[in-house]
Structure 1
Amino acid sequence: MQFTNNNFYIRNLQYHLSLKAGRSIKTLSVLFLYISMLGCTDFVEVNQPKNTLTSETVFQDPATVESALAYIYSQMRDEGMVSGNFGLSAIMGIYSDELDYYQFDSNYIEYYQNTLTPSNTIVEGWWKNAYNVIYAANVIIKGVDNSIKLSLDDQKKFKGQALFVRAYLHSLLVDLYGDIPYITTPDYIKNNTVERNSVSVVYDLIIKDLIEAVQLMDSSDWSGEHVIPTKSVANALLARMYLYTENWEMAKSTSDILINSYNLEPDITHVFLKNSAETLWQFKPNGISNNNTYEAIQFVIQAIPGQAYALSDGLLNAFESDDLRATHWIDSMTSKDGLTTLQYANKYKAILSEKSSLEYSIIFRLSEQYLIRAESLAHMGNIAGAQEDLNAIRNRAGLDNTDASNVNELLSAILRERRVELFTELGQRWFDLKRYGLADERLSPIKSNWQASDLLLPIPETELEINPNLKPQNTGY
């Protein structure tokens, strides 16, 4: 993988140091952590790294490891696929059938018009950022495993968080790019010649990491704000992975754990506030300005012209009449001449706050688990159970119970419910169209350039040049 900015410096530094006798990967890992954390903004309330870190001290101080993990979370929040700024919510929204795009950035237009090229800077940026963060997680795993100073409890929770991060980013990479390398070591020289694993192998490795993470992670978030991933967050991803791999029994039993431990937020207007009852994991704003979330900045239209995104007619038409989500999670803006009115995602409403942030960027929430369990139960033939879970989401939105009464009807109803419940949330709609086998059917009529090969993004051109073992390029590129 290729690294940029500080990471580019580290890559070259590591390469040259590795040629000298007596330089261990442990020393190289410390350099990565030290240089990376120098530029880290506060993410959670942890002590800042010391001015000098050595291979003997970096993994004996819990506050230092907490700072390293805070750096990882800040990178995910501010850059790459998970960010509300440059991430899946907006870009896979325009790639699929959720959003229309109105600006002129050529990289975004390639997504919107389904004309992606391997040199697209977003395609490349997502790949690089994900593997940079995975690298950092592997550094922590190795350092924690080798530590003789950290307590056993600290070792467990830190390794568990790092394993979860590694699994989560690989889960997004495999769903976007198909066959990918599953990186489990901070050995850069080895990683520079790695080959791609099949999708099925990657899913197996993700599930393996998550099972271990659940055993190691804390049950509660000491910050009290759901900004540090816990066992519940790892279980939320594990339930999703079981769903994606059609292991219905395990998807159901894993989502059971969460549904039995948390409550849905009863007030539809509070779901995306920072203290929502159903939030499992969220990103705290960066604290540099009085901004709330990147999502609000991206999606709330303040003027026409000038907007970047608006909700597609297809998405708007998917809402039933009297759906409270259409009332409270969608708003509109009309141009000054009165000729144009556009609807926009208004889940996150506050762009600026004079005091503390009102909303955090939610990554996992309980509603998804009800829909995971409903889908799993439907496949298992438990019609009543699937209806009950589906109705929990519908009733919260002010809708009557579903009239779907057999497996096929229920699966269609669950897909529609996922569309209106999880819209503009980290590419969920795109991943659903793919796994239901409906991407061609739903997108080819509305996207003139759509091809079946568009189910996968291209492997970045620069990565194929650096490491030919990543070839062949995905079909169609």
Structure 2
Amino acid sequence: MKTHYLKFAPLGASRILSVVALSLVVFTASCESFLKVDLPASQLTATAVFEDEQTATAALLGVYADMRAAGILSNLYYQMSLYSDDLDYYGSASSAEEQFYTNSLIPSHPTVSSWWNASYSQIYAANAVLEGLETSDFNEAFTNQLEGEALLVRGLVHFYLSALYGDVPYVRTADYQQNTTVGKTPAAQVQEDALVDLSRAASLLPWEYATADRTRPNKGAALGFLARVALYAGDWQQALDAANLLINRSDLYVWQNDLNQVFLKESESTLWQWYPAFSNRNTTEASVLGFTTAPPPRVALTPGLVSSFDPVDARLSNWINPVSNASDTFYQAYKYQTRSNTPVAVEYSIVMRLAEVYLIRSEAYARLDQLGLAAQDLNKVRGRAGLIDVAYTEKEGLIDQILIERRHELFTEAGHRFFDLKRTHQLDAVLSPLKVGWKTTDERLPLPESELLINPNLAPQNPGYQSEN
């Protein structure tokens, strides 16, 4: 058995990522801070040398394993639900989690640093794959598949870095020397650059999934993320076009009418989901958000979220579970229902699903003054929840209802609530009455103190945060 090493130096603290693929290939990405690292001259670039398709595939699977285990995409459902108004916190005082809940983050906060470091590790690994493909002689279909997946990773991770931190570096190379003094890219440009990467990914990837369980992204997943980022960027037409292409593939993406089937790993409404670390392990969402005794040991859904549902909304009884003691009732997010290991996992963590795409298209239609079509998509989501159809002749009222529906459909998923409040400029209005410590500047996380100390080109610190040195 041969061991192939891929070395790269990302923007962040030391991290090591490894994955064993098919018991044949070990991919190891040694991640050291590109801002301050001593490397021999022969290791100043990170271009991978792929001997065969298994080596190249293993490199990409290593990126996905890291994205599932660390960084922004692994934890948005939890931390940003605490940061906004989806979750209340009942755990240990002064913990890293409570600081998200009370909006009292500081530049040295461990999650602030770990999200940054892990994200740039993933970006560097994606860039290393892209550069390795340039010097490889694989067939066109295989090259397009891996290039598309790597571009999707690069665009998506950059987008979320900017959505959280604001202006951030957009890194397109794995070359250590070129990135030792990298500066920040304005947030609006990061969005545009991410859209370019995601659009290119969608053009390269096939509709057919590389894995039967949808644990590697295809064209549909790329289009879904393109629609999501375009919506956040206010590019309504691009969001609409991408959503249309995806929804029109009804042979591949099947609307699931049973709410209790949506989050099972076999669901055909899933665009992309993480393969678990072990085949018998179910989701972290179920273990983190679930509880069986009251008061909860960690978190529960906020009363404001629960009370905002129509009493006949089927999501209230299927995706939210009450747990009571003698005096109080608390509500757990119950989308993922299997907390323990099973002989074979029954639920995988979903990265994106079809209902979100319908809500993206609904909002894009509404923003473009196509109110009838917007209401039609909105009613598809409402209908599954047992709610009556609505008709709107007034644009702003329809958009408001779509945003309410997004909250009810997408709660505790991917930080949607926070990002929706941010992009619609409602953070202060909604969170100030609920959170004593909320400040307008909390719309951005602090830049990691350790990175600012190493690279002055990342300065200044985001508004509202002070240097600790």
TM-score (norm 2): 0.90
Which residue in 2 is equivalent to 1:60?
51
Is 1:106 matched with 2:95?
yes
**259-268 or 426-435, larger mean C-alpha shift:** 259-268
Please report how far the alpha carbon of residue 25 of structure 1 lies from its aligned counterpart in structure 2 after TM superposition: 4.7
Which residue in 2 is equivalent to 1:273?
264
**102-111 or 6-15, larger mean C-alpha shift:** 6-15
Which residue in 2 is equivalent to 1:33?
none
Please report how far the alpha carbon of residue 241 of structure 1 lies from its aligned counterpart in structure 2 after TM superposition: 1.6
Correspondence list, 1:156-305, <5 A:
156-261=144-249, 262-287=253-278, 290-305=280-295
Please report how far the alpha carbon of residue 243 of structure 1 lies from its aligned counterpart in structure 2 after TM superposition: 1.1
Number of equivalent positions: 439
Q: In 1, Cα distance between the equivalents of 2:127 and 2:304?
A: 42
Residue number among 95, 108, 118 corresponding to 1:119 in the alignment: 108
Q: In 1, Cα distance between the equivalents of 2:222 and 2:354?
A: 13
Is 1:458 matched with 2:439?
no
Is 1:310 matched with 2:310?
no
Matched-pair contact (CA < 8 Å) for 2:295–2:330: no
Please report how far the alpha carbon of residue 470 of structure 1 lies from its aligned counterpart in structure 2 after TM superposition: 0.2
Q: In 2, Cα distance between the equivalents of 1:91 and 1:285?
A: 20
1:426-466 per-position Cα deviation (integer Å, ceiling 9, x unaligned): 10010000011100000000101111101100101001011
**98-107 or 387-396, larger mean C-alpha shift:** 98-107
Q: In 1, Cα distance between the equivalents of 2:71 and 2:183?
A: 22
Call closer, same or farther: CA 1:321–1:403 in 2, change over 3 Å.
Answer: farther
1:105-146 per-position Cα deviation (integer Å, ceiling 9, x unaligned): 521111111111111101111111100110100000000112
SS in 1 for 2:211: coil
Please report how far the alpha carbon of residue 353 of structure 1 lies from its aligned counterpart in structure 2 after TM superposition: 3.7
Is 1:2 matched with 2:12?
yes
Give the counterpart letter for 2:257 in structure 1. P
Which residue in 2 is equivalent to 1:439?
427
Give the counterpart letter for 1:112 in structure 2. Y
Which residue in 1 is equivalent to 2:400?
412
Please report how far the alpha carbon of residue 29 of structure 1 lies from its aligned counterpart in structure 2 after TM superposition: 4.2
Residue number among 67, 75, 82 corresponding to 1:76 in the alignment: 67
Identity of aligned residues (%): 38
Is 1:138 matched with 2:122?
no
Which residue in 2 is equivalent to 1:46?
none
Give the counterpart letter for 2:220 in structure 1. S
Call closer, same or farther: CA 1:4–1:12 in 2, change over 3 Å.
Answer: closer
Please report how far the alpha carbon of residue 305 of structure 1 lies from its aligned counterpart in structure 2 after TM superposition: 4.5
Q: In 1, Cα distance between the equivalents of 2:30 and 2:364?
A: 47
1:275-319 per-position Cα deviation (integer Å, ceiling 9, x unaligned): 11210000121116x330000000111333452110001111121
Please report how far the alpha carbon of residue 24 of structure 1 lies from its aligned counterpart in structure 2 after TM superposition: 5.7
1:313-354 per-position Cα deviation (integer Å, ceiling 9, x unaligned): 11111211211111100102223xx22321010000001243
SS in 2 for 1:6: strand
Q: In 2, Cα distance between the equivalents of 1:355 and 1:163?
A: 35
SS in 2 for 1:251: helix
Matched-pair contact (CA < 8 Å) for 2:281–2:344: no
Q: In 2, Cα distance between the equivalents of 1:216 and 1:440?
A: 41
Is 1:11 matched with 2:32?
yes
1:357-412 per-position Cα deviation (integer Å, ceiling 9, x unaligned): 11010001011111111111111111110100000000011110124431011010
Matched-pair contact (CA < 8 Å) for 2:70–2:118: yes
Q: In 1, Cα distance between the equivalents of 2:400 and 2:16?
A: 47
Please report how far the alpha carbon of residue 15 of structure 1 lies from its aligned counterpart in structure 2 after TM superposition: 4.5
TM-score (norm 1): 0.89
Matched-pair contact (CA < 8 Å) for 1:145–1:155: no
Q: In 2, Cα distance between the equivalents of 1:10 and 1:226?
A: 28
SS in 2 for 1:71: helix
Q: In 2, Cα distance between the equivalents of 1:118 and 1:265?
A: 43
Q: In 2, Cα distance between the equivalents of 1:240 and 1:347?
A: 21
Q: In 1, Cα distance between the equivalents of 2:30 and 2:57?
A: 23
Matched-pair contact (CA < 8 Å) for 1:179–1:196: yes
Is 1:390 matched with 2:378?
yes
Q: In 1, Cα distance between the equivalents of 2:176 and 2:315?
A: 47
* Structure number having the greater helix percentage: 1
SS in 1 for 2:227: helix
1:245-279 per-position Cα deviation (integer Å, ceiling 9, x unaligned): 22212211110011111221121110001111210
Q: In 2, Cα distance between the equivalents of 1:395 and 1:326?
A: 14
Q: In 2, Cα distance between the equivalents of 1:207 and 1:347?
A: 30
Is 1:322 matched with 2:312?
yes
Superposed CA RMSD: 1.7
Give the counterpart letter for 1:69 in structure 2. L
